[in-house]
Structure 1
């Protein structure tokens, strides 16, 4: 069962499962703890995993004022402090990967390693146009289902649309009792569009794995590669047949890859050579 934890002035909804080295999972645009269910279920036998609802998503309220990625990174650090976690392996996807970048820059001692899925360091004109399109889609879609069907074109592979996976995700989203408001969804999107970490990423000094989907039309592989190129020692890998959220579409291979990376990062922390 989850709980609200105090993070500054916010009460942030948080779930923690498992035993072992600490892992913090940071969700993207509008996503909640539930977006990480395959990781909460699949990795809790090896790690103590914490996931939380970002401000303005799920069971965490949006405070007054314009949200920023920096503030959301501070929220993530506050969640760890509230739970007595001194440092964690951090994984974030999409907007959550931007929060994870800022977390590593603003609170370096809280981060053991980074997994950045579907990431970027500065939105290019293509992505900024996409964000503007989200505005009119969210405001003018005839129904919630219509909006989700259109939005998920950007998120999941054609395979997932054609085999019924996306239909199941849509049913789950429509049944979820803690829906994000249109205003909060767009405020989060705009915060991600404003944020720029390019030119600062060489300040990240922990092991980093950047994962991109070869079929991701939102945060294309070249954007992730630019992130990896700027971070000292970062690894960059493309999952050729995948889109924006492979941790949901192919959770078992994704979990295996990040588990390997976290185990290696733990060995490095302990001074044990890689085999």
Structure 2
């Protein structure tokens, strides 16, 4: 069960499960702890998984004033500090991946590694226009269901729409008691419209895996590739046939991918320096 923890100036709804190396999960627009359910269930046998509701989403309130990616990165840092976690593998998707970038830039001490799903360095005109469309759609859609049905056309694959996976997701969102207001979603989206980490990404030193859905019409693979090319040593993988949120559509495949990456990072961090290893072998 989750609980509110005092993190900075906010009471942030946080859930923590499992045992092992620490992982922090950062959601995208309007998404809450529940968006990571397949990871909380599927990886808790190997990691201590922490997820939280961003400001203005779910059970975390939206303070007055503007919202920025930097501000939300500080929220994420405050969660780790409040829980006494010295460093964690950090995974974020969509807007959450931008928050994760900022966390790695602002508090590198807290970031053991980065997984950036459906990410970008700066919105190109296409992605920016799409985000402005979503900002408009949430205001004018005749019902919440109509908004979700339209919005999710660009988030999930045709496969997930046709096999009723998306319909089940929508039913879950509609039944969720802690609804995000249209205004709070718009303020969240505004934080990313002109946000640009292009020139600062080379400063990220954490081992990084960038994942893109090969069929994602929004955060397209070329945008993820630009992030990976800018971060020293970053790995880039395209999940063919997948869209914006493969961690929900093909969670077993996604979990296996990030688990292999985290295991590799842990092995590298636990290995003694090469000179010492060579000396001991002699």
* TM-score, normalising length: structure 1: 0.98
Report the 3-state secondary structure (helix = DSSP H, G, I; strand = E; otherwise coil) of the residue aligned with 1:192.
helix
Q: Is structure 2 residue 154 aligned with structure 1 residue 154? A: yes
C-alpha separation in 1, matches of 2:39 and 2:17: 10
Report the 3-state secondary structure (helix = DSSP H, G, I; strand = E; otherwise coil) of the residue aligned with 1:202.
helix
Report the 3-state secondary structure (helix = DSSP H, G, I; strand = E; otherwise coil) of the residue aligned with 1:131.
helix
The residue that corresponds to 2:247 in the other structure is 247
C-alpha separation in 2, matches of 1:136 and 1:229: 33
Q: CA deviation at 1:194?
A: 2.2
The within-5 A match list for 1:99-178 is 99-178=99-178
C-alpha separation in 2, matches of 1:136 and 1:84: 40
Report the 3-state secondary structure (helix = DSSP H, G, I; strand = E; otherwise coil) of the residue aligned with 2:91.
strand
The residue that corresponds to 1:211 in the other structure is 211
Q: CA deviation at 1:206?
A: 1.1
Q: Aligned Cα RMSD in Å?
A: 0.8
The residue that corresponds to 1:10 in the other structure is 10
Q: CA deviation at 1:135?
A: 2.1
The residue that corresponds to 2:34 in the other structure is 34
The alignment covers a number of residue pairs equal to 273
The within-5 A match list for 1:216-235 is 216-235=216-235
* TM-score, normalising length: structure 2: 0.96
Report the 3-state secondary structure (helix = DSSP H, G, I; strand = E; otherwise coil) of the residue aligned with 1:115.
strand
Report the 3-state secondary structure (helix = DSSP H, G, I; strand = E; otherwise coil) of the residue aligned with 2:255.
helix
Report the 3-state secondary structure (helix = DSSP H, G, I; strand = E; otherwise coil) of the residue aligned with 2:41.
helix
- Runs of 4+ in structure 1 off by over 6 angstroms are none
Q: CA deviation at 1:270?
A: 1.1
The residue that corresponds to 1:194 in the other structure is 194
CA contact (8 A) 2:97 2:116 kept: yes
The residue that corresponds to 2:91 in the other structure is 91
C-alpha separation in 2, matches of 1:38 and 1:73: 23
Q: CA deviation at 1:51?
A: 0.1
The residue that corresponds to 2:263 in the other structure is 263
CA contact (8 A) 2:135 2:189 kept: no
The residue that corresponds to 1:75 in the other structure is 75
The residue that corresponds to 2:277 in the other structure is none
Q: CA deviation at 1:272?
A: 6.0
C-alpha separation in 1, matches of 2:98 and 2:145: 27
Q: CA deviation at 1:88?
A: 0.1
Report the 3-state secondary structure (helix = DSSP H, G, I; strand = E; otherwise coil) of the residue aligned with 2:101.
helix
The residue that corresponds to 1:65 in the other structure is 65
**5+ long unaligned stretches in structure 2:** 274-282
C-alpha separation in 2, matches of 1:251 and 1:40: 11
**5+ long unaligned stretches in structure 1:** none
Bigger-Rg structure (1/2): 2
The residue that corresponds to 1:47 in the other structure is 47
C-alpha separation in 1, matches of 2:7 and 2:244: 29
Q: CA deviation at 1:8?
A: 1.2
